[in-house]
Amino acid sequence: MDAGVAQPRPLTAIGLRLLSALALTTLSMLVKLGSEQGVHLFEMIFWRQAVTLIVMIGVASATVGLLALKPVRFGAHVMRSIYGLVGMSLVCGAVILLPLAEATTLNFTAPIWAVILSMLLMKEKIGRYRWSAVAIGFIGILVVTQPGSTPVDPFGIAVGLGAAFMVALTSVQIQDLNKTEGATSIIFWFCLLTTPVAALSLPFVAKAHSLDMWLVLGGIGVSGAAAQLLLTNSLRYGSAATVIVMDYTALLWATLYGWQVFDELPASSTWIGAPIIVLAGTIIVLREGHLAHKAKRDAQAAADAEAASAIAPTSAPAEPLDPQTR
């Protein structure tokens, strides 16, 4: 699991990413359902993390081994856990405050925030293609949110955009962690560090549940763990540029769940704005893939040139034969 793209299998990667989109949307649906039945947000976060922690211990034992979970940069895991816990709270909060389709659409703005954060935090140079995508994305946000009108809860919109921002910030943090930590280790430490924090709220928010509600809480944990594993393995068999676009299928599942479970359909502004935001995210993903491929090609060319220059001095012209040996 921690071996990166060991053997490219694009169709397998795409299939896993499609399933991860379904798992994440199912998680959001169950969070919303639990909230409507009176379960507190923090209790749902606790069960989501606790179940995933148990699953990751089992996965690590069966694959990389528990010793591989030893952190190289523990402080970086702590920061990732802080970002991740805040982001998870906002993502779940947006799902509770907004219709599923609208919350999902706003979450699609994460690549837009990631571009801005790459410039601010990683000093990355952003070209006209990605800046154009950012502009297109914000037009889509304006269409979905309709400032000045009241079709969607303004506070919910703020929480949804904050959630997308934190997802992007967490992605930048994970990108840095990947330099020294394996994927299993990153997920394990995130769950291990945040589960006790979430547990601190249980004496104040937990309550007795019916069997049906325990099934919902169990489903939150299982779908969360499944999403983590599917996301990780999709990147094992394919590049990010290949699979990330599949995340946009979550809007289809969100619309279906919203209609069948909560009797809600997206507003007309969401149908118009969502494709604009998806277009912006797709441009960013494709451009990132192009730049990564170019950087890899340039690095290979530089390595080939260096190898050629190292060999050249050994090919000195032969000295002329001494006259006495002719």
Domain extents in the chain? 10-306
> Tokens 């394996």 label which residue?
182
- Per residue in 53-98, pLDDT tens? 998 899 889 888 888 889 888 999 999 999 999 999 999 999 999 9
Residue 74: both structure tokens together: 């523990």
Separation CA 99–CA 274 (nearest Å): 14
Q: What is the DSSP secondary-structure string of 202-268?
A: HHHH-----HHHHHHHHHHHHHHHHHHHHHHHHHHHS-HHHHGGGGGGHHHHHHHHHHHHH-----H
Separation CA 159–CA 255 (nearest Å): 20
Separation CA 192–CA 154 (nearest Å): 34
- Give me the pLDDT at residue 325, please: 44
Separation CA 108–CA 127 (nearest Å): 21
Separation CA 10–CA 174 (nearest Å): 23
User: Which among 143, 137, 161, 98 is positioned nearest to 278, based on CA atoms?
Assistant: 137
Q: pLDDT grade, residue 130 (50/70/90)?
A: confident
Q: Compute CA 6 distance to the chain's CA centroid, rounded to the nearest angstrom.
A: 20
Q: How many CA atoms lie within 13 A of 19 on its CB side?
A: 17
- Per residue in 242-268, pLDDT tens? 677 778 888 889 989 989 998 888 877
Residue 27: both structure tokens together: 């998680």
> Please, are residues 101 and 251 in contact by the beta-carbon 8 Å criterion?
yes
The DSSP 8-state label assigned to residue 149 in this structure reads S
Q: pLDDT grade, residue 5 (50/70/90)?
A: very low
Averaged pLDDT, 29-44: 94
Averaged pLDDT, 269-275: 82
**Cβ atoms < 10 Å from Cβ of 132:** 14
- The yes-or-no verdict on residue 235 having pLDDT over 90 is no
- Give me the pLDDT at residue 7, please: 62
Distance in Å from the first CA to the final CA of the chain: 66
- Give me the pLDDT at residue 4, please: 43
What's phi and psi for 108, nearest 5 deg? -70, -10
Separation CA 3–CA 88 (nearest Å): 27
Q: pLDDT grade, residue 185 (50/70/90)?
A: confident
